[in-house]
A and B are shown apart, each in its own frame.
Chain A
Amino acid sequence: MDSILKVTGLTKKYEDNYALNKVDFELKRGEIHGLVGANGSGKSTFLNILFGNSIIRETGGYSGEIIIDKENTYIKDTSSAVELGIGMVHQEFALIGDLNIASNIKINRENLNKKTEKILGKDFARVDVKRNKEDSEKALSILGIDIDPSLKVFNLSTNIKQFVEIAREIDKVNLKILMLDEPTASLNEEDSKLLLSSLKRIKEQGSSIIFISHRLEEVVEICDRITIFRDGEVVSSYSKEAFDIPKIAMDMTGKKVVKTLRKEKDIKENILLSFKDVEVNYGQRNTKGISLDIYEGEILGITGLAGHGQDIFPYGLMDVYEMSGDVRFNGEKIVPGDIEDITKKGIYILPDERKEMGLLLDSPIWKNIVFSSCHLSTEFLKIPWFKSFSPLKSNAMYEHTDNMIEDLNIKCRDKYQLVRELSGGNQQKVCLARAITTKPKLLFVGEPTRGIDLYSKELILDMLLETNIQDKVTIVVSSGELGELKRICDRIVVMYEGKVFDILKPDDSDQAFSLAILGARRVDSEK
């Protein structure tokens, strides 16, 4: 097999830091090549260079040689990357919600009416909507998706959005290389499987694929070869016969990963927060009669298929969803949506949409970590009596930030680096650091490990357990990663169609969980 892409000595510097240092890489025609590495190891930078992302150009370009299809090229921007036959599926969705599926799939490659094109030129030619639709249907059918392409994208569920994005790439006639940056991060297991099998189909059609994922099981399953990145360098590369998950994990981190596991603890049924017969409205959905008790000192997991309401409790309290009914915290009635009162009482909510709701992207790390605490407590205030007008204790804040950066292994230049410049996983850690800094009584966390490498994952899970036991914080984790929930939670709630379907113990069998997630009642002998 000849190679479609050959990279030699690829180097990228951000100011003084090497994001990539002399990377050599080869992609053979018709293979699926996995890229793995910890957060901030340079995988995303690598893809950004290949796709001509404007960040690369604005920060001084790259050096090194890129040979595509035996031709030496310099990728200067996205459109030249597209011309070279490179397609990319982004980690965060790159879809336009206001447009319909067909327009998203055919964006910048619209079918044009020939006559108007001749008279008015390319820009002002009429778009042939019908042919766009046909092409879209064709691309979607390769992925095994049957959906009307005239639906608007913002109404679609996360998994369908992911497929639309892939359909956009495979619709390109000259597609040679398809790059996917963690396509399965926001999918549940069922959809991940569907996606992986469609990748195999795309490969059979002759495109080569670069695949990034933190789920090593997936990578091992579908890839023909794997290259491992660490700190901007390629550490090792394996082909199919030599795949060995522990060894790959070891190469990624340079350290042995110890899986976190909770210790059995005694939870008294002392209710901290209770929802009784609550009604929730979100989007077009309305669910009545939801009840849930959260006990003091426990870690409660909430799971379920996407769209079945894993996030109604935190979002209801935050007023993202409309929630009404009897909600009591420590026996005291609270109004869902009155976020100021709720945080003052000691409930802190970390939503899963960290970029949109959780972070000040253009502020430095230290500010992100302490800013909630400055509002909520007097810890960092010089003259607490002045409240919001008090000057701040800079030294205490900096020291605290440094500790947090070390404890959570946040990869950054220093505490003054802007959060926008951090990789996804490190941003998540900053979020978590902020939540812990406020010392809440009850902490809601949404998808704490989404898009995070396996080493940092354990750090975060560890941190949650530690906060739970040492600081006596009750934690509610909503996540689709059942395996992780089972390791850290004392009880796991399974949501189905917006309601609490069942509450299981972490040591219940996998089968019991799968049944509950799919909404099948278990036989009530053990209950």
Chain B
Amino acid sequence: MEKYKRYLVPLFFLVLSIIGIIGAGVSMNFVLSELYARFVRNGIFVIALLIPIMAGMGINFAIKVGALAAHTALIIIADNQIYGLKGFLLAILISTVLSVILGNIIGYILNKAKGKEMITSIVIGFLATNLYQLLFMVGYGTIIKAKNSEIMLSRGIGLRNNIDLAEFKKLFDGILTIRVGDTNESLAPVIIIVVVALLVYYISGSRIGHHIKAVGGNINTSQAVGIDTNRVRRIAIVISTVLASLGQIMYIQNIGMLNIYTDHLNIDIFSAAALLVGGATLKNANIRNAFIGVLLFHTLFIVSPLAGQNLFKHAALGEYFRSFLAYGTIVFAFIMNLRYESESKL
């Protein structure tokens, strides 16, 4: 019985999803093809949350910063008009370098705020958003000169809201095509996500992974046996930030359009909610939780507006259900988590 308790939350959401699918009255094919897109867009983000949780730092809401690094890289690519696979790989390279730098900074700050990592990471996310807006709304056109005038606002200062990256959307077309629901999709993004998952699995079994788990288990003890805990925690955040930037690139690749000022918003909340739906707690999370969570959370996300519309004859109500779902899940998981912790103390 004890063993199955961990799956209580996923089971609850599975039942909700089934009710949602029936209530929405949509075909399985529709759900599947939507789910494919959302899995590709959100999968890596959820995986990016795993390592900070193992390190005992809770949910790293600062994955937003990784997304901003990806935006910056894509803007540079678009500005220089380097497209195709070359541009894609270059974007990944630039965003990775940026994420390593930013991840180190975030890790440094979170080490100063031990025990309050989650709230600190939320605020870091807000602050980073503001600095980013300053850079691209004001910096471009004044300090930085754009080579590609198409991305600029017509007044000459600041970037436009949207950058067209349709070039990237075609990137995986025709590679390992499979039929998902009603559409033909490429298997390549899924393979990338699986590779990332395997990478995280490998890291958790490596020396640094053992240290991350030790620090997550008890930071004082780890310090006492000679582990440089601050360094381990910083590395955990760097890995998380780098993965998040990769996640954002996958997200934008799938959409084919970059909304410079809005695409990164909410990904932290949605990813956290997805992971928690998968049965993770603030102290314990694994790859299985990530995958189960992404699938369940997004199924609900897809069907809840439609179900709302069907049941209450009101589309806006369905939209409301979405945000209710995301925030409600987090609170619910927090409570479940506290209960779990107080029980395991015995």
Contact = CB atoms under 8 A, between A and B. Distances in A.
Specify whether A and B are partners: yes
B118 to A, nearest CB: 19
Contacts of A361: none
A293 B205 CA distance: 54
Nearest to B224: A94
A124 B206 contact: yes
Contacts of A90: 224
A331 interface: no
A51 to B, nearest CB: 8
A351 to B, nearest CB: 13
B206 A107 contact: no
The interface centre, meaning the residue of A93, A95, A108 with most chain B CB atoms within 10 A of its CB, is: A108
B223 A54 contact: yes
Given A90-B224, A108-B225, A99 B217 contact: yes
Contacts of A94: 221, 224-225
Interface in B176-218: 202-203, 205-211, 213-214, 216-218
Nearest to A120: B206
Contact of B218 (A77, A97, A103, A320): A97
B214 A96 contact: yes
Contacts of B205: 126-127, 129
Nearest to A132: B210
Nearest to B204: A127
B210 A107 contact: yes
B346 interface: yes
B222 interface: yes
Interface of B: 202-203, 205-211, 213-214, 216-218, 221-228, 235, 346
Contacts of B206: 116, 120, 123-127
B218 A108 contact: no
A104 to B, nearest CB: 8
B202 A126 contact: yes
A90 B225 CA distance: 10
A96 B203 contact: no
Q: Give the top 10 A-B pairs by smallest Cβ distance, nearest first.
A: A96-B217, A98-B217, A79-B226, A123-B208, A78-B226, A94-B221, A94-B224, A96-B218, A82-B226, A124-B206
A77 B223 CA distance: 10
Given A54-B223, A93-B221, A123-B206, 14 more contacts: A77-B226, A78-B223, A78-B224, A79-B226, A94-B224, A98-B216, A98-B217, A99-B210, A99-B214, A103-B214, A107-B225, A126-B205, A126-B207, A168-B225
Contacts of A107: 210, 214, 222, 225, 227
A282 interface: yes
Contacts of A97: 217-218
Contacts of B203: 124
B210 A282 contact: no
Contacts of B224: 53, 78, 90, 94
The interface centre, meaning the residue of B207, B218, B221 with most chain A CB atoms within 10 A of its CB, is: B207
20 contacts: A94-B221, A94-B224, A96-B214, A96-B217, A96-B218, A98-B216, A98-B218, A103-B214, A107-B225, A108-B225, A108-B226, A108-B227, A110-B207, A110-B210, A116-B206, A126-B206, A127-B205, A127-B209, A127-B210, A283-B346
Nearest to A103: B210
B210 A124 contact: no
A79 B218 CA distance: 17
A112 interface: yes
Contacts of B218: 95-98
Nearest to A153: B217
A320 B207 contact: no
A321 interface: yes
A129 B213 CA distance: 15
B207 A98 contact: no
Contacts of A112: 207
A110 B202 CA distance: 15
Interface in A102-124: 103, 107-108, 110, 112, 116, 120, 122-124
A94 B225 CA distance: 8
B205 to A, nearest CB: 6
Nearest to A320: B346
A118 B223 CA distance: 27
Interface of A: 53-54, 77-79, 81-82, 90, 93-99, 103, 107-108, 110, 112, 116, 120, 122-127, 129, 168, 282-283, 320-321
A306 to B, nearest CB: 16
Contacts of A96: 213-214, 217-218, 221-222
Contact of A125 (B207, B213, B225, B346): B207
B214 A321 contact: no
Contacts of B217: 96-99
A54 B221 CA distance: 12
Contacts of A321: 346
Contacts of B213: 96, 98-99, 103
Nearest to B232: A123
B235 A78 contact: no
Contacts of B209: 127
A124 B208 contact: yes
A123 B210 CA distance: 10
A527 to B, nearest CB: 35
A124 B207 contact: yes
Contacts of A120: 206
B346 A78 contact: no
A477 to B, nearest CB: 23
B207 A127 contact: yes
Nearest to B228: A79
A103 B211 CA distance: 10
The interface centre, meaning the residue of A81, A99, A283 with most chain B CB atoms within 10 A of its CB, is: A99
B221 A95 contact: yes
Contacts of B222: 96, 107
B99 to A, nearest CB: 17
A335 to B, nearest CB: 19
Given A97-B217, A320-B346, A78 B225 contact: yes
A210 B216 CA distance: 31
Contacts of A95: 218, 221
B222 to A, nearest CB: 7
B178 to A, nearest CB: 32
A129 B205 CA distance: 9
Contacts of A320: 346
A123 B223 contact: no
Contacts of A283: 346
Nearest to B216: A98
A126 B346 CA distance: 33
Contacts of B227: 107-108
Nearest to B54: A98
A79 B224 CA distance: 9
A97 B341 CA distance: 13
A116 B209 CA distance: 14
A321 B221 CA distance: 26
A196 to B, nearest CB: 24
Contacts of A53: 224
A69 B216 CA distance: 36
Contacts of B228: 79
Contacts of B235: 123
Nearest to B215: A96
A321 B223 CA distance: 31
The interface centre, meaning the residue of A95, A112, A124 with most chain B CB atoms within 10 A of its CB, is: A124
A121 to B, nearest CB: 9
Contacts of A54: 223
Nearest to B218: A96
Contacts of B223: 54, 78
A108 B205 CA distance: 14
A116 B206 CA distance: 9
Nearest to B227: A108
A92 to B, nearest CB: 9
Contacts of A78: 223-226
A321 B343 CA distance: 10
